[in-house]
């Protein structure tokens, strides 16, 4: 009986401590303004997602604080990430949405990236991304095997852009003959060039093509040659998945390392050293937001990706795995990135 009373008292103590912690979080956040720093300019996909999340996350935060989006573009998102790491308050009143390549910029040798990715408090992501090489319907190739024999052209914005990186990755991992054609401002301009027959192909993301050219795959305006990333897209069952085709262990590691940003989706993070209970509150609120039917409805209306939310712990595991990879893999990754 004495043991039972002790257990009961312990349980009551835990409940009381949890309630006290919840009250303390309510008191801290009530009437405050939380800043969400976004590493891209207004109007893009990241910014649109951030504003939808801010709108609905308020309902799930202790104390229902205001959440204000602050765009901080520049240097491919590095300026915002440096700010979040070195300048932003560490009290739980600031967090950010970062482009998924930013955790790996220090690893790639970007000297402007003055932060340690492992020390951020990663909060979660609404999705993962799947990369996809699309080829215009009239191009004289229809498979990976064809492109291993016959060269085709790929339009990209710049030599160090993500499309150029992914083109070099497919050449390295799958021995495809892809010739980069530079100078297009962005994805839309490349798609227009494909329609005109100026270039043959573009390495995009499934979510991007579905939000900008939603009929292209269904009506066969393009051929989907290969998909790559953390896992295949279920809607593309007939499109080969790169990791299933590669047998060389080093090339497989390279594909996995290169896919890490896609596994992060559109990640949210808080600065280092935020009190643990406030990190937990931010993570819980973000998870609830990604499951909120009203938020999901808004995201679908705007063609925003929300396929498989990832927790902060899952994001941290992806980042840590890449940093632990052999130096040879890191060197090859850096070479592909143009650093």
Provide the pLDDT for residue 157.
Answer: 86
Residue 2 predicted with pLDDT over 60: no
Decide: residue 293, CB within 10 A, 0-12 exposed, 13-18 middle, 19+ buried. exposed
Residue 20 predicted with pLDDT over 70: no
Provide the pLDDT for residue 41.
Answer: 83
Q: Quick one: pLDDT band at residue 122, thresholds 50, 70, 90?
A: very high
Are the CB atoms for 242 and 162 separated by under 8 Å?
A: no
Provide the pLDDT for residue 7.
Answer: 52
Two structure tokens written together for 132: 């996809």
Provide the pLDDT for residue 338.
Answer: 73
Residue 35: how many CA atoms within 13 Å on its side-chain side? 16
Q: Quick one: pLDDT band at residue 162, thresholds 50, 70, 90?
A: confident
pTM across the whole model: 0.83
Least confident of 40-44, 55-59, 90-94, 269-273: 40-44
Residue 202: how many CA atoms within 13 Å on its side-chain side? 29
Which residue segments constitute the domains of the chain, with CATH numbers given?
A: 31-127+265-332 (3.40.190.150), 131-260 (3.40.190.10)
> In whole angstroms, what is the distance from residue 38 CA to residue 55 CA?
15
- pLDDT tens column, 299-336: 988 888 788 899 999 999 999 999 999 999 999 999 88
Provide the pLDDT for residue 161.
Answer: 81
Provide the pLDDT for residue 14.
Answer: 44
What phi and psi, each to the nearest 5 degrees, are found at residue 302?
-95, 5
What phi and psi, each to the nearest 5 degrees, are found at residue 241?
-105, 125
What is the chain's mean pLDDT, rounded?
91
Provide the pLDDT for residue 76.
Answer: 80
Residue 111 predicted with pLDDT over 50: yes
Q: 160: closest CA among 98, 207, 108, 206?
A: 108
Are the CB atoms for 329 and 253 separated by under 8 Å?
A: yes
Cross-strand bridge partners of residue 154: 180, 201
Residue 3 predicted with pLDDT over 90: no
Average pLDDT over residues 282-308: 92
> In whole angstroms, what is the distance from residue 18 CA to residue 206 CA?
42
Cross-strand bridge partners of residue 159: none
SS3 67: strand
> In whole angstroms, what is the distance from residue 270 CA to residue 187 CA?
30
Are the CB atoms for 267 and 125 separated by under 8 Å?
A: yes
- Residue 91 CB neighbours (<10 A): 14
């Amino acid at each position: 009986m004495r043991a039972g009373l002790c257990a009961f008292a312990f349980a009551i103590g835990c409940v009381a401590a949890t309630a006290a912690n919840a009250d303390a979080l309510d008191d801290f956040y009530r009437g405050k303004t939380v800043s969400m720093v976004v590493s891209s300019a207004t109007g893009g996909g990241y910014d649109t997602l951030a504003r939808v999340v801010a709108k609905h996350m308020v309902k799930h935060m202790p104390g229902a604080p205001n959440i204000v989006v602050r765009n901080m573009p520049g240097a491919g998102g590095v300026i915002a990430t440096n700010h979040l790491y070195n300048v932003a308050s560490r009290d739980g009143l600031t967090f950010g949405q970062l482009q998924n390549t930013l955790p790996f910029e220090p690893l790639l040798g970007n000297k402007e990236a003055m932060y340690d990715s492992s020390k951020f408090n990663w909060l979660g992501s609404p999705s993962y991304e799947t990369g996809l090489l699309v080829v215009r319907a009239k191009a004289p190739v229809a498979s990976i095997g064809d492109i291993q024999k016959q060269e085709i052209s790929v339009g990209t914005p710049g030599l160090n852009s993500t499309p150029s990186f992914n083109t070099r990755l497919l050449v390295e991992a799958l021995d495809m003959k892809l010739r980069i054609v530079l100078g297009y401002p962005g994805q839309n301009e490349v798609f227009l060039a494909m329609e005109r027959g100026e270039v043959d192909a573009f390495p995009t993301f499934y979510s991007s093509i579905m939000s900008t050219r939603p009929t292209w795959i269904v009506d066969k305006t393009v051929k989907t040659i290969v998909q790559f990333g953390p896992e295949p897209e279920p809607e593309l069952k007939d499109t080969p998945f790169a990791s299933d085709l590669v047998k060389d262990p080093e090339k497989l590691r390279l594909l996995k390392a290169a896919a890490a940003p896609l596994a992060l989706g559109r990640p949210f993070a808080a600065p280092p050293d935020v009190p643990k209970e406030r990190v937990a509150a931010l993570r819980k609120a973000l998870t609830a937001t990604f499951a909120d039917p009203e938020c999901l409805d808004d995201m679908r209306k705007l063609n925003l990706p929300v396929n498989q939310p990832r927790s902060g712990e899952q994001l941290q595991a992806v980042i840590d795995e890449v940093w632990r990879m052999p130096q040879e893999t890191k060197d090859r990754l850096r070479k592909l990135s143009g650093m």
